[in-house]
C-alpha cells in the first residue's frame, strides 16, 4: 500500500475546510480539479453505514465552479449544453454532459442558473474552464468566465434536513431536489442546493469566501452533535451502488454521452446550437457499440486497486470494469463497467479479470439503488 505525504505545492490546492478535515482524522484522499478531496475517515464500511443512518459533512470544495456572467451568458451555455436550457428557471440545477465537436465527453457538470445573465457550472474532474475560455475567445462572446472563490460543502445523509433546519431555518425543508436558494450565514449569503454525490439525500452549501469555511464547518458540527454528525466524503461503495458516474474513471473523452448512459440528457432535436450537436445526432441515429452497466460480481471482497479491469465472455472481449468495490450493504461486489453491445443485456454472464483472480459476474438491468 502506497503511504506518503503530499508535497505542499500550490498545484495541489488545500480547501477552506482542510484544518478540520485533518483534525477529523482523514485516512484517504483523492486529487480532483487540482485540489485534495477527502474520501475516507474510518473504513469504507464504517463510513458507508454512518452515511446511510446519520449525517456527514463532506469537503467537496473540489467541485469547482465556473462562473459565466454577462449579456451572452445564456448564448454560451447553449453552446455547451446538449440539454435544452430555454425553460430552465432561476434557482434550478441541471445535470448535463458536455462534449467536444466529435461528441466526446469533456465533463459531466451540474449547472446552476443564478440569474438571466449569470450561471455556475459545477464541474467534475477535468480542466473544463480552459475549454470554456477557448470558446469565449473563438466565438468572441461578451461574457466574463472565471473560477469564483466558492467551495461546496456537502451535508449528506438522512438527518441532513434536521441539521440544515437548525442552522438555516426550517424553510430549507421546502427546497426540492436540484433546486437552490440563497441563505444567510454570519452576515453573508451562500447558495444552498438540495443535491450531492450520494443517494442518501442532502444538500450542498456553496460557501463563498475561503475565510468562511471553518466557521461554517464548526457551526454545522456543533448544531449536529446529538445527530452524530461527522466528517465524511464521497463513499466509494455507496456511489457505485447508486450509479453515480465519475468523470475520468467511468467516462472519458473516448466516450460519448449515449455510451455513458447519459443519452437521456441529450435532446438532439432541440439543441441545434450545441457544439457537437451533429456528432451526437449521428450517434443517436446510428447507435453505439458499448454502454455503461451495473454489474454484480461474485466471490469475496475484491482488492482496492487501480482500474480498469478487463471483462470477457467465453474468451471474447466484453468490456472493462471501471469502478468496483465490496458493498457492505448488499454483501456482494458492485461494479460499473463499459460493456460491449453483444454482452450488455441484463443477466449476461461475464468474467471480470480482477488482479488476484477472475470472478464470475452478471450484467444488471439497473443500479443497486
Ligand atoms: N454536486 C455538484 N457539483 C458536482 C457534483 C455534485 N460536480 C461534479 C460531479 N458531482 C458531477 N457529477 C454528478 C453526477 C451525478 C449527479 C450529480 C453530479 C446526480 N445525479 C442524479 C442521479 O443520478 O440520481 C440525477 C440528476 C438528474 O437526473 O437531474 O445528482 O454532486 N454541485
What is the C-alpha to C-alpha distance for residues 136 and 145, in angstroms, rounded to an integer?
Answer: 8
Give me the pLDDT at residue 3, please: 86
18-63+149-239: CATH superfamily: Probable tRNA modification gtpase trme; domain 1 (3.30.1360.120)
Dihedral sign computed on CA atoms, order 199, 203, 209, 215 = negative
Does residue 263 have a pLDDT over 80? yes
To test the ligand 1 pocket, which listed residue (195, 245, 264, 265) has its Cβ within 8 A of the most ligand atoms?
195
Indicate the fold that domain 290-369 takes in CATH: Elongation Factor Tu (Ef-tu); domain 3 (2.40.30)
What dotted CATH number matches 65-146? Answer: 3.30.70.1400
Q: From atom 27 of ligand 1, which residue's Cα is the shortest distance away? A: 95
| Ligand 1 mean position, distance from CA 110 (Å) | 6
Tens of pLDDT, residue by residue over 176-192, are 999 999 999 999 999 99
Mean pLDDT of 109-130: 98
Q: Is the pLDDT of residue 26 over 90?
A: yes
pLDDT at position 2 is 79
* Residue minimizing CA distance to atom 28 of ligand 1: 95
Delimit the domains of the chain by residue range.
Answer: 18-63+149-239, 65-146, 290-369
**Two domains, one topology: 18-63+149-239 and 65-146:** no
Determine which residue's CA is closest to atom 26 belonging to ligand 1: 95
Strands (E), 91-242: 93-95, 98-99, 105-107, 110-115, 118-122, 144-146, 150-156, 180-185, 188-193, 202-208, 230-232
- The three-class DSSP label of residue 155 is strand
Asked whether 108 lines ligand 1 (CB < 6 A), one says yes
pLDDT of residue 77: 98
More confident residue, 269 or 153: 153
State the pLDDT confidence band at 1, using cuts at 50, 70 and 90.
Answer: confident
Cell numbers standing for residue 242: 447508486
Ligand 1 centre from 178 Cα, in Å?
Answer: 9
Amino acid at each position: 500500500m502506497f503511504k506518503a505525504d503530499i508535497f505542499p505545492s500550490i498545484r495541489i490546492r488545500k480547501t477552506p475546510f482542510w484544518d478540520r478535515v485533518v483534525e477529523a482524522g482523514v485516512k484517504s484522499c483523492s486529487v480532483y480539479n487540482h485540489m485534495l478531496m477527502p474520501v475516507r475517515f474510518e473504513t469504507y464500511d464504517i463510513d458507508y453505514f454512518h452515511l446511510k443512518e446519520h449525517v456527514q459533512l463532506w469537503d467537496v470544495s473540489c467541485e469547482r465552479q465556473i462562473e459565466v456572467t454577462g449579456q451572452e451568458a445564456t448564448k454560451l451555455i447553449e453552446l455547451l449544453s446538449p440539454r435544452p436550457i430555454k425553460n430552465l428557471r432561476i434557482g434550478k440545477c441541471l445535470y448535463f454532459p458536455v462534449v467536444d465537436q466529435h461528441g466526446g465527453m469533456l465533463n459531466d457538470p451540474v449547472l446552476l442558473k443564478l440569474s438571466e445573465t449569470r450561471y455556475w457550472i459545477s464541474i467534475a474532474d477535468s480542466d473544463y474552464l480552459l475549454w470554456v475560455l477557448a470558446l469565449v475567445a473563438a466565438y468572441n462572446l461578451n461574457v466574463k468566465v472565471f473560477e469564483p472563490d466558492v467551495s461546496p460543502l456537502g451535508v449528506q445523509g438522512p438527518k441532513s434536513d434536521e441539521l440544515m433546519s437548525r442552522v438555516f431555518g426550517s424553510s430549507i425543508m421546502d427546497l426540492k431536489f436540484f433546486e437552490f436558494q440563497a441563505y444567510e450565514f454570519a452576515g453573508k449569503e451562500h447558495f444552498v442546493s438540495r443535491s450531492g454525490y450520494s443517494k442518501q439525500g442532502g444538500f450542498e452549501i456553496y460557501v463563498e469566501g475561503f475565510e468562511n469555511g471553518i466557521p461554517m464547518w464548526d457551526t454545522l458540527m456543533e448544531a449536529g452533535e446529538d445527530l452524530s454528525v461527522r466528517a465524511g466524503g464521497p463513499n466509494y461503495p455507496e456511489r457505485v451502488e447508486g450509479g453515480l458516474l465519475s468523470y475520468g474513471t467511468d467516462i472519458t473523452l473516448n466516450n460519448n454521452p449515449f455510451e455513458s448512459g447519459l443519452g437521456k440528457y441529450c435532446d438532439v432535436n432541440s439543441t441545434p446550437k450545441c457544439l457537437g450537436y451533429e456528432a451526437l445526432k449521428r450517434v443517436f441515429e446510428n447507435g453505439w457499440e458499448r454502454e455503461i452497466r451495473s454489474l454484480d460480481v461474485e466471490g469475496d471482497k475484491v482488492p482496492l486497486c487501480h482500474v480498469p479491469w478487463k471483462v470477457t465472455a467465453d474468451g471474447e472481449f466484453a468490456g472493462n470494469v471501471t469502478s468496483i468495490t465490496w458493498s457492505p450493504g448488499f454483501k456482494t461486489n458492485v461494479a460499473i463497467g463499459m460493456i460491449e453491445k453483444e454482452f450488455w443485456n441484463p443477466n449476461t454472464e461475464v468474467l471480470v479479470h480482477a488482479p488476484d483472480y477472475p470472478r464470475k459476474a452478471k450484467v444488471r438491468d439497473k443500479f443497486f439503488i
